[in-house]
Structure 1
């Protein structure tokens, strides 16, 4: 089979088969020179997930040509490179979220971080948009936007500013920030913000907010390859069309519900641990008082 070599960000090159629009990378273990059946596979490699719509269904706002290049080649190359890098390592079989956080390495990224994070980011990006998107959110999402930004229009302004001022390649995000940081020397992009609120932020290259333990709700890819075929160097036009015609606010709303429940569950876990720690301290103090009392009685005798 003829193979093609593709370049992807970070300067890594991956050898790929001619790209059908759907495929699955799989690994078959060998044992004693015998190929094991698929049901005995130890760990499946990560898949290239297709967008939840046809490649031409976002036109005229995002062309089929852009998706064929951006998803069918660029995203595909990251999946292939990541699978090559994790094969036979301790990361093989981990979930993609785990690989991203582990390979971020507390702000000193391991070489495979770019590929892991870009696979995660692109999966998230394709799910964030839909044919006939845009408009305005409603319900809990709109309530939180108005509470945390003052208005929907103000949030859009901040999101556009983040996307347009991200120097070079990167991403802009709307996230739910619960601020449970334990990531070593990683920089908290909003250290003075209060917990449990929506914030807009931007990140360079492949970095995404899960490394800061935030819950992403919406992302826009501002790498040039995401928009150049359709908008050339007019990033501002691309960002405006993304917000006005492509965003799936229903998906963003569902993500917010999950993020809020995640934060609530963690709060319950923290309270349970606090009560258990208090009970353990109380028990320890009671035992210590008993032993002290027993010693005093013995000395009295």
Structure 2
């Protein structure tokens, strides 16, 4: 019942020039693999071994820092790879549920992009920017430190993440160095809005 590193749904170089192949190779094959292995080691022999990752994260305040860091890293990256695509687009298609929700809940796409970009750019140190669905069914934007996410009971804003942007330096530094805003702008070119829309409908 151990967690497994999922295969990337595309080639390492598929997101170029927005995200380079070497970064993808290291990010998936080293960082995500380490989170997966370390999570399994931290859970081994405990009552949480074999539980779904979502159930583990929902009670993370009662668990060890090793499970919090590696469990978050495992879940966050699982989501991250799927919400990017070589066929991504800067905006969701009109007529989709996510397009309508962004308009209704966040004041339109331009406003969402401004808020989401700011969440990523202003997250000090390492962390993530999130688009999530709250308990009220409405979208909200937030950021979290390190490998935390809105599923965790320790989150400032709780909800179901449907889009996540990794702003740890290992996600962009080889290509963008200290230019995090340039990486954030490039990220929009590879967003898989079909997947985000599916996750939105499931979260609702």
TM-score (norm 2): 0.92
* Match of residue 178 from structure 2: 233
> Is 1:94 aligned to 2:51, yes or no?
yes
Which piece of structure 1 moves more, 96-105 or 65-74? 96-105
Does the CA-based 8 Å contact 1:134-1:242 persist in structure 2? Answer: no
Larger Rg: 1
The answer to whether residue 154 in structure 2 is matched with residue 209 in structure 1 is no
- 112-121 or 206-215, larger mean C-alpha shift: 206-215
Could you list the structure 1 runs, at least 4 aligned residues long, displaced by more than 4 angstroms after superposition: none
Task: Find the aligned partners of 1:196 and 1:74 in 2 and give their Cα distance.
Answer: 33
8 Å CA contact 2:126, 2:167 repeated in 1: yes
Map of 2:169 onto structure 1: 224
TM-score, structure 1 length as denominator? 0.63
Please state how far the C-alpha of 1:209 moved relative to its aligned partner: 0.6
CA deviation digits over 1:211-246, x for unaligned, max 9?
A: 155111100000011000111111000000101x11
Q: CA deviation at 1:129?
A: 0.3
1:254 alignment partner, one of 192, 198, 203: 198
User: How big is the alpha-carbon RMSD for the aligned residues of Structure 1 and Structure 2?
Assistant: 1.4
The Cα of 1:55 is off from its aligned counterpart by 1.2
2:86 counterpart of 1:141: no
Q: CA deviation at 1:62?
A: 1.0
Structure 1 unmatched ranges of 5 or more: 1-43, 179-194, 261-301
SS at match of 1:98: helix
CA distance in 1, matches of 2:129, 2:117: 8
1:115 corresponds, among 65, 70, 75, to 70
Give 1:1-301 correspondences, 5 Å limit.
44-105=1-62, 110-137=65-92, 138=94, 139-178=96-135, 195-212=136-153, 213-243=158-188, 245-260=189-204
Measure the CA separation in 2 of the matches of 1:99 and 1:256.
21
Instruction: String of CA shifts for 1:232-279, please: whole Å, max 9, x gaps.
Output: 111000000101x1100101101111111xxxxxxxxxxxxxxxxxxx
Contact preservation (8 Å) 2:5, 2:33: yes
CA contact (8 A) 2:83 2:191 kept: yes
